Structure 1
Amino acid sequence: MSSADKNLSSYSGEIPNLSSRVFGIVVAEWNEEITEPLYEGAVEVLLKHGIPKANIIRTNVPGTFELSLGAQWLAMKKGVDAVICLGCVIQGETRHFDFICNAVSIGITEVNLKFNKPVIFGVLTTDNKEQAFDRAGGKHGNKGDEAAITALKMLAQTI
């Protein structure tokens, strides 16, 4: 979705009218000081692009590992057109980081394919909290914004 030189936080391209579409957002509670701004950014982008608040469904899960199952639950709901997964994994002293990042990326991919609908990977995988804050509304934009733009762009391809 982004690099140091380019990100979608300031996307200004054309998005067709998707106001009848329903978006699920699953948010990890772990690292809430990071995931909440990601959620706020995603919702702001959806609202800006004409998605009614009533068409945005939020569900929380305890941590990033649980995002895949939370995404599956939302994808199974009748009428949900896309799911945005928001989480944050910060490198610690053990390999736990690697296992969580690997599992959630595979899990989210599998939900995409199983339900044939956009399930967006909005998970920060950073070396430290500073990097996470920089990507949750800081100097590198808001990856929640980018996840929402990605969901909109993917759904736009279905019309």
Structure 2
Amino acid sequence: MEVGRAEGLKFAIVVSQWNAQVTGSLLDGALRSLQQHGAKETDIEVVQVPGSYELISGADIILRNREIDAVICLGCVIQGETRHFDFICDAVANGIANVSIKYNKPVIFGVLTTDNLEQAMDRAGGKHGNKGEEAAVTAIQMGIIAKQH
């Protein structure tokens, strides 16, 4: 897959503090990937929010107040014993999509929705790779498309 170069693009990463063991690894992967593809450290802003639900307003605040080419939302919601998981996952997915539409900017869904911590860790640098890296690659590709059109 041809990724393209991130030079000249400005990124924001909004990351949930909830499940920090997982989201910290996702953040590390996203930062590493952006920089490997040419993003300057000064062109990446990291904003921490309390939980995955707050990724929505975090992305909205960033896009309202900054010139950003793409926002990467990183979070992790792990299934519990109640339906709370379903409500949060649905709200976060729809909210992130709505922010993207509102600002006509790429807002990338890098939120893990897993059954347990082991599955989350497998996707945050474990046997299934690092979904933070994948979210960064998506942000680069979408940022390039947005600049070209």
TM-score (norm 1): 0.90
Report % sequence identity. Answer: 56
Kindly indicate whether the alpha-carbon contact (under 8 Å) linking 2:9 and 2:39 is maintained by their aligned counterparts in 1.
yes
Specify the alignment match of 1:51 in structure 2. Answer: 39
- How far apart, in 2, do the equivalents of 1:17 and 1:77 lie? 25
Q: Where in structure 1 do 4 or more consecutive aligned residues deviate above 6 Å? A: none
Which of 101, 106, 119 is residue 118 of structure 1 equivalent to? 106
Specify the alignment match of 1:140 in structure 2. Answer: 128
Return the offset for 1:74.
Answer: 1.3
Return the offset for 1:16.
Answer: 3.3
Structure 2 unaligned spans of 5+: none
- How far apart, in 2, do the equivalents of 1:121 and 1:15 lie? 18
Return the offset for 1:17.
Answer: 3.5
Equivalent pairs counted in the alignment come to 147
Kindly indicate whether the alpha-carbon contact (under 8 Å) linking 1:15 and 1:156 is maintained by their aligned counterparts in 2.
no
Return the offset for 1:30.
Answer: 0.3
Q: Deviations over 1:121-159 (max 9, x none)?
A: 000000000000000000000000010010011112132
Q: Does 1:84 align with 2:35?
A: no
TM-score (norm 2): 0.95
Specify the alignment match of 2:53 in structure 1. Answer: 65
Pairwise CA RMSD of aligned residues?
Answer: 0.9
Q: Deviations over 1:11-37 (max 9, x none)?
A: xx3333431111000000000000000
Structure 1 unaligned spans of 5+: 1-12
Structure with the higher fraction of residues in helix conformation: 2
Q: Does 1:37 align with 2:37?
A: no
Distance 1:77 1:21, change over 3 A: farther
Kindly indicate whether the alpha-carbon contact (under 8 Å) linking 2:6 and 2:34 is maintained by their aligned counterparts in 1.
no
Which of 71, 82, 104 is residue 94 of structure 1 equivalent to? 82
Which of 132, 148, 151 is residue 139 of structure 2 equivalent to? 151
- How far apart, in 2, do the equivalents of 1:15 and 1:29 lie? 28
Q: Deviations over 1:95-141 (max 9, x none)?
A: 01011101100100000100000000000000000000000000000
Distance 1:155 1:127, change over 3 A: same
Which of 2, 6, 23 is residue 11 of structure 2 equivalent to? 23
Specify the alignment match of 1:130 in structure 2. Answer: 118
